[in-house]
Each structure stands twice: as structure tokens, then as C-alpha cells.
């Protein structure tokens, strides 16, 4: 019986070194699939040194050439209605009607306010808002029809990408955090039920009080919930004096509905 062929040997580091030394690589030439030499390519440094205007080919077949950025363009996004959003090294973003857009008469809008290169941009699912992210660490939301700034979101570091939810405006909000926002409540960290009392009514600010959620999916049992809680508290308060006898408990944020941690003990003394 013939001997089985020897298994292929893994190349050693010395083999690779020898192969590389034997190669004749011309850095300035690229070859296409047929092995034909392609035109010489300038290295990055020489492109960076050249005047930006030289890079815009006047006889280009492009439908649109937009040259308002005073520096490198780092990001471009096209909305469903054809508007074009771009950001660049001049710390600016531009929002303009695209060549195939619906409203050609609109003027290009310069979105200013970032303190560093604008590196990421995109439109919301309904094209109503535009977002720009920058190396200044912030994301800015703009009204896409007027160009006015809606909100600035401060992040921890350089923004290199951003992405909108593809279908809708999804917001995750924690009622426990919302209940402690100094922008909504005068004493955000205090147990201060009077914040809801007539005259103060701090919960009246939209979305300040989100114990039952907010928006389209807010709790369907909200009124029943209020009724139930008021009934129980009213009956207890009219019939008992209550006193906590264990340590005041920490909130248990691991539960779906936040309750007290551990087993707090309350003494109920029937009112005379």
C-alpha cells in the first residue's frame, strides 16, 4: 500500500520572513484584476496638502456639488424626502434640499453650535428632526424644516456615530430618576408630598410625574389605580395610627414595580 501523503506543513516565521524578502512590491502602483498597472496614486499627505477646491471636479457628472463646508466633510445623510444633511471639520452641519428632493426652493441652512468637528448625522424616521454628533461630545437635535435647535444632549466623549430608531420615537424613562430631576421639582431629593398640593402642583409640568408612564402607552389602569390607592390609604388613616418600627427601608430598584427592600415592620394601633 502506498504511503499516505504527508499533511501540509504550517509555514514557520522564518519561511514568512524569507517570502517577504523575495517579494518585489512597488508601493506606487496598484494592479487591477488582470494584473494591469493602474494609475499612480498620491499618498494621503499630498492630498491633504492640496487646496480643497482642487478636489471638486467642475466637469463631474454629480447631480449636485455642495461646497459650503470649509474643511473636510465627515458625514452625509439623505432623508426620505431628498434633503441632504452633512457635517464637517469646520464644526458645522448643513441641511439643504437635495437634487431630487421635493422642495427645491428651500435655502440651505447652516446648523451652527458644535464646538468641534461634526462627525455623525442622520434624520429621524419621519424626517421631522435631524441629529448631528460631534467631537465636542454632544449630539444636537434640530427641527429639519426650520433648522432651529431643539435640544443638546451632552455625552461623555467624542461622538463617532449616531443612529435613530427606524420606526418611531422610542423613549426609555425611569420614573425613579424623573422624580428626582431638579428641572421639574423644587426639592428633588426630599420626601415632599406637598409638591403635588394646590398652589404648587409641580407635577403639572408635562411628563414631570411619570409614575403611570407617559405618552401613548401610559397606564390604562391609572384612574383605577388612583382610586384603589386612595381607598386603601383613606381607610387605613381613618382607622389606624401607623408607625415604622424597623429601619426606614431603601427602595428596591430591581423590582418591576419599585417597593421597599427587605421586610419593613409597621405598628398599627387602632384609633379609639
77: part of which helix (H) or strand (E)? strand 73-78
CA–CA distance, 105 with 84 (Å, rounded to integer)? 14
155 contributes a contact to ligand HEM by CB under 6 A: no
Q: Which H or E run includes 84?
A: strand 83-88
Q: Which is nearer to ligand HEM, 224 or 268 (CB)?
A: 224
Q: Does 215 bind ligand HEM (CB under 6 A)?
A: yes
**Least distance from C-beta 172 to ligand HEM, angstroms?**
9
Q: Which is nearer to ligand HEM, 137 or 175 (CB)?
A: 175
Q: Is residue 170 part of the contact set for ligand HEM (CB under 6 A)?
A: no
How many other C-beta atoms lie within 10 A of the C-beta of residue 219? 13
User: Is residue 149 within 8 Å of residue 114, measured between CB atoms?
Assistant: no
167 belongs to the binding site for ligand HEM (CB under 6 A): no
Count of residues near ligand HEM by CB under 6 A: 13
Given 219, 233, 236, 242, the residue binding ligand HEM (CB under 6 A): 219
Cα 113 from chain centroid (whole Å): 18
Closest separation between CB of residue 171 and ligand HEM, Å? 9
Binder of ligand HEM out of 57, 167, 217, 263 (CB under 6 A):
217
Contact string 222-241 vs ligand HEM (x = CB under 6 A): --xx---x------------
Residue 261 CB-density burial (10 A; 0-12 exposed, 13-18 middle, 19+ buried)? middle
* Per CB under 6 A, 213 contacts ligand HEM: yes
Cell numbers placing 16: 514568512
Q: Which of 47, 64, 205, 220 binds ligand HEM (CB under 6 A)?
A: 220
Cα 115 from chain centroid?
18
Three-state secondary structure along 102-160?
CCCCCCCEEECCCCCCEEEEEECCCCCEEEEEECCCEEEEEECCCCCEEEEEECCCCCC
Is residue 207 part of the contact set for ligand HEM (CB under 6 A)? no
Binding segment for ligand HEM (CB under 6 A), chosen from 36-44, 62-70, 72-80, 210-218, is 210-218
Contact call for residue 179 and ligand HEM (CB under 6 A): no
Query: Is 214 among the residues that bind ligand HEM (CB under 6 A)?
Result: yes
Minimum CB separation of residue 236 from ligand HEM in Å reads 15
Asked if residue 212 binds ligand HEM (CB under 6 A), the reply is yes
The span from the CA of 183 to the CA of 188, in Å, is 9
Contact range with ligand HEM by CB under 6 A, out of 70-78, 107-115, 162-170, 221-229: 221-229
The distance from CA 23 to its chain's CA centroid, rounded to whole angstroms, is 48
Phi, psi of 97 (to 5 degrees): -70, 135
Instruction: Name the residues that contact ligand HEM, by CB under 6 A.
Output: 211-215, 217-221, 224-225, 229
Amino acid at each position: 500500500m502506498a504511503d499516505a501523503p504527508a499533511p501540509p506543513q504550517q509555514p514557520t516565521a522564518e519561511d514568512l520572513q524569507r517570502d517577504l524578502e523575495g517579494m518585489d512590491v512597488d508601493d506606487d502602483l496598484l494592479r487591477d484584476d488582470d494584473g494591469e498597472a493602474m494609475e499612480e496614486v498620491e499618498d494621503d499627505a499630498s492630498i491633504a496638502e492640496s487646496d480643497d477646491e482642487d478636489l471638486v471636479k467642475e466637469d463631474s457628472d454629480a447631480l449636485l456639488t455642495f461646497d459650503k463646508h470649509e474643511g473636510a466633510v465627515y458625514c452625509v445623510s439623505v432623508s426620505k424626502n431628498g434633503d441632504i444633511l452633512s457635517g464637517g471639520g469646520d464644526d458645522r452641519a448643513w441641511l439643504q434640499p437635495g437634487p431630487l428632493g421635493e422642495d427645491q426652493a428651500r435655502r440651505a441652512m447652516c446648523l451652527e453650535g458644535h464646538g468641534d468637528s461634526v462627525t455623525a448625522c442622520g434624520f429621524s424616521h419621519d424626517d421631522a428632526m435631524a441629529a448631528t454628533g460631534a467631537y465636542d461630545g454632544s449630539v444636537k437635535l434640530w427641527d429639519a424644516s426650520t433648522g432651529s435647535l431643539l435640544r443638546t444632549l451632552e455625552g461623555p466623549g467624542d461622538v463617532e456615530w449616531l443612529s435613530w430608531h427606524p420606526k418611531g420615537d422610542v423613549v426609555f424613562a425611569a420614573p425613579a430618576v424623573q422624580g428626582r430631576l431638579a428641572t421639574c421639582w423644587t426639592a428633588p431629593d426630599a420626601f415632599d408630598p406637598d409638591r403635588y398640593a394646590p398652589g404648587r402642583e409641580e407635577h403639572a409640568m408635562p411628563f414631570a410625574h411619570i409614575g403611570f408612564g407617559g405618552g401613548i402607552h401610559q397606564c390604562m389602569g391609572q384612574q383605577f389605580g388612583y382610586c384603589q390607592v386612595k381607598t386603601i390609604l383613606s381607610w387605613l388613616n381613618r382607622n389606624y395610627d401607623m408607625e415604622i418600627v424597623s429601619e426606614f427601608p431603601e427602595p428596591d430598584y430591581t423590582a418591576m414595580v419599585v417597593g421597599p427592600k427587605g421586610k419593613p415592620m409597621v405598628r398599627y394601633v387602632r384609633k379609639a
